[in-house]
A and B are shown apart, each in its own frame.
Chain A
């Protein structure tokens, strides 16, 4: 994995607040992410991880706080102050969003090739042959047979669907990926393969990623740094192996000690 990081962050969040009724989903959360870096956000269900991911990616508005992103043209832009058009442009070019359930991230009634090609067409690709070649290339990158390019996602296994979702997202070579439990719901054997694939892609593309997971093994293998969330607060951050091997906060210790060692 890449270990040299530039001086300036790609994404920076400051004082994020979000409540749902009486539940404090994000309580004064601040974090930063550097180009090429993978940040894991761990914590149990209901700890606010997914809410935070949705706020960071501009999908929901925080009640307070600022999320800034370093746009390609240079300079930091407030993600929530951008126009809808600009944010959508980011969403289909510079950003990727990988959902836990591939059905949320795929068009189930469109072929694998159409799914992968959609972002290309959205940014103006108008040559069928080239779109198809790129789709084949990406199917192979995610270890799918090129021969399945015209098949519908519903004919694929869960692991294949997840790989297709990843290909569909990475085809425009984004700089930042948001991943919500990318290996959740997959068989253990399939998880390992996907993890390995993700790690390779992140390294090859120089992709920065924020990976929300409750699986500490996923966090260990994918992320450079970890943020541990509990009840809407980030209780501990640091180098991934340090947080997992020498956790400081009581909650992190509980989380780590609750994992069965294989």
Chain B
């Protein structure tokens, strides 16, 4: 075992870790937005909306993320190209449009899982809460917004935290479309140093540091929320 290559290539890992975290944050943010929209669609009284939501959730959960990302990258991006965001390009260190496709793929994938988490959270709220809100004269969307969703989010925060931790690892998939994140960084270092093993160990440890810190943070939040109950 020889880790001396880190002196020269350690920077790759740092840069990769930064992009992994950035990718995760973008994906979870849009994943939650998508998840909320589709969870509400799924619970809506409108048949069409319910149908759209179920289709999205089932297709995404029933196909591999690797295929999804390749469809998006090699297929759909032939017809639609994302504009480059100069500020983002500057942060990640290269053209942001591929990065955005990767982030979009992970967000779309995560959105399906988050939708199910949010749906369960909403359904876990006692139906008396909805009735009380409606009996005051609040419409169903206002009741959702002010009464149901705030309580649901509080209940599902641990599950969303876990989804975040899972996403940190899932983002490694975007390395297949050449996005420079942690897994790709390990790959590049392997090629550059002609070492097959050590660069992977380093990548794995960096992943572990990120997920361990994140899951500690989630546990901390959970404890604090219990205290406020």
Partners in one complex: no
| Residues of A participating in the B interface, judged by any CB pair closer than 8 Å | none
| Residues of B participating in the A interface, judged by any CB pair closer than 8 Å | none
